[in-house]
Amino acid sequence: MPAYPQIGAHISAAIDIAHTPLRAQKAGCECFQFFSRSPQGGPTKDLTKQTITDFKANCRKYRLESYIHSPYYINLASAKNNVYYGSVSALREELERGSLLGVKYMMAHLGSAKELGGGAGMKKVIEGLEKILTGYKGPTRLLIEMSAGAGAVIGDTFEEIAKIIDSPRLKKYDIGVCFDTCHAFSSGYDLRTEKAVKETFKKLDKILGLKRLKLIHANDSKTELGSHKDRHEHIGRGLIGLEGFRAIVQFAKQQKINLILETPHDEQLAEDLKILKKMRK
């Protein structure tokens, strides 16, 4: 097993999900994230017994832990019933698909309350998550991914996420958290220096508890602190910078939390993996 944190990236699952672990291994990943369906919507390809068997075998062969990212169209705060119930259905299906594939976590953005307003949107998100988790007994665990906060998106602050997962209707389900460095920075949490990183995670611990932090998306930011814009950049080329990521990697090492890159898929991705692995040493 690689040393903590295991470092990986989002990998395409196009054509055949079973081959995704091979692509991850060839890219230099020690763990990986993927979409189990089209992130933009449309028909969902069934998971055959052969696909499930081959995916699990390939993960075992290359010793890769895997995670599912939910589709982009999810909105549990939507005023439109077709969007709301479609989101509830898709997230429950993703948890079930993840369980069949042996995936550890499924992370999701919660959606925007632009149509309903904050209070009503929050209420609907909590109700939707309860619908998704009621009766679910699979091993894949739901993580709420922190958002960048643009357009009344829910889940851009530690306090808002805590309000959801600590609500009486959801507390028993033990929902986890995925911390995205770009999103957090865009939401106003400074990560540019070792001191800032320590302060941010100290705040997270106080409000959410570090035990709930299960995964970190490692993305530099093209936009400034508090911009509320979701613009990922390669490691060290954005406004968080190398000093910040050194501290983030050391924090992840201490807490044994894995890192997933969601930086642009070009020749620089391999370099991003090398940079983070070097910081781990």
pLDDT tens digits, one per residue of 83-96 = 999 999 999 999 99
- Predicted local confidence at residue 2, as pLDDT: 58
- Predicted local confidence at residue 1, as pLDDT: 52
pLDDT tens digits, one per residue of 198-231 = 999 999 999 999 999 999 999 999 999 999 999 9
Residue type at 205? D
Strand-pairing partners, residue 207, are none
Residue type at 37? R
pLDDT tens digits, one per residue of 195-205 = 999 999 999 99
pLDDT tens digits, one per residue of 22-50 = 999 999 999 999 999 988 877 788 999 99
Listed in order, strand segments (DSSP E) in the chain are 7-10, 31-34, 65-69, 105-108, 141-145, 176-180, 213-218, 220-221, 232-233, 258-261
How many CA atoms, within 13 angstroms, populate the side-chain half-sphere of residue 235?
A: 28
Please report whether residue 1 resides in a domain: no
Q: Which helix (H) or strand (E) holds 138?
A: none
DSSP 140: P
pLDDT tens digits, one per residue of 8-18 = 999 999 889 99
Please report whether residue 256 resides in a domain: yes
Q: Which helix (H) or strand (E) holds 173?
A: none
Please report whether residue 178 resides in a domain: yes
How many CA atoms, within 13 angstroms, populate the side-chain half-sphere of residue 24?
A: 32
User: What mean pLDDT comes out for the span 235-250?
Assistant: 98
pTM score above 0.75: yes
Task: Indicate the pairing of strand 232-233 with strand 220-221.
Answer: antiparallel
265: confidence class by pLDDT, cuts 50, 70, 90: confident
CATH number at residue 170: 3.20.20.150
Please report whether residue 2 resides in a domain: no
Contact criterion met (CB below 8 Å) for 212 and 166: no
How many domains would you assign to the chain? 1
141 or 115, which is more confident = 141
Give the domain extent around 275. 7-280
Q: For a pLDDT cut of 70, what percent of the chain falls above it?
A: 99
Q: What is the 3-state secondary structure (H, E, C) of 224-271?
A: CCCCCCCCEECCCCCCCHHHHHHHHHHHHHHHCCEEEECCCCCCHHHH
